[in-house]
Amino acid sequence: MLNHCIILFFQFCKFSVLCFGGGYMLIPLLTAEYVDREQVLTMSEFGNLCSVAQVTPGPVGLNTATYVGYVNEGFFGALAASLGLIVPTVLIGCSAAAGINRWKDTFLVKGMLKGTRLAAVALIMFAVTIFLGMSVFTQTIPWEAFGALFKLDYPVLPEGFRVSPAGVLICGATIALMLKTKVPTTALLLGSAAAGALLSAWF
Partner 1 sequence: MEMEIRTLSRGRRLLLLYCSFFRITALVVGGGLAMLPVIEEIFVVKRKLLTREELLDMTALTQTVPGIIAINSAVYIGMKVAGVPGAIAAAAGAVTPPFTVILVIASLFPHLDPKNRYLLGVFAGIRAAVTGMILVTGCRMFRRTVKSPLEIAVVLVFFVLAIMKVSPALLILAAVPFGWCYVLWQTRRLARAEQANGESSKVSAESASESRRNEEGGKC
The interface with partner 1 within residues 83-142 (CB under 8 A) comprises 85-86, 88-90, 92-94, 96-98, 100, 104, 107-129, 131-132, 134-136, 138, 140-141
Under the criterion CB under 8 A, does residue 183 sit at the interface with partner 1?
no
What is the closest distance, in whole angstroms, from the C-beta atom of residue 162 to partner 1 in the complex?
A: 14
Looking at 4, 7, 18, 40, which residue binds partner 1 (CB under 8 A)? 18
Under the criterion CB under 8 A, does residue 175 sit at the interface with partner 1?
yes
As a residue count, the chain comes to: 203
Under the criterion CB under 8 A, does residue 145 sit at the interface with partner 1?
no
- Alpha-carbon distances of 183 from 77, 127, 194, 199, rounded to whole Å: 36, 24, 16, 22
Q: What letter would DSSP give residue 23? A: G
Under the criterion CB under 8 A, does residue 43 sit at the interface with partner 1?
no
- Alpha-carbon distances of 19 from 15, 29, 72, 113, rounded to whole Å: 6, 9, 21, 12
Under the criterion CB under 8 A, does residue 149 sit at the interface with partner 1?
no
Q: Which of 32, 13, 29, 12 is nearest to 21 (CA)?
A: 29
One character per residue 48-67, x = contact with partner 1 (rule: CB under 8 A): x-xxxxxxxxxxxxxx--xx
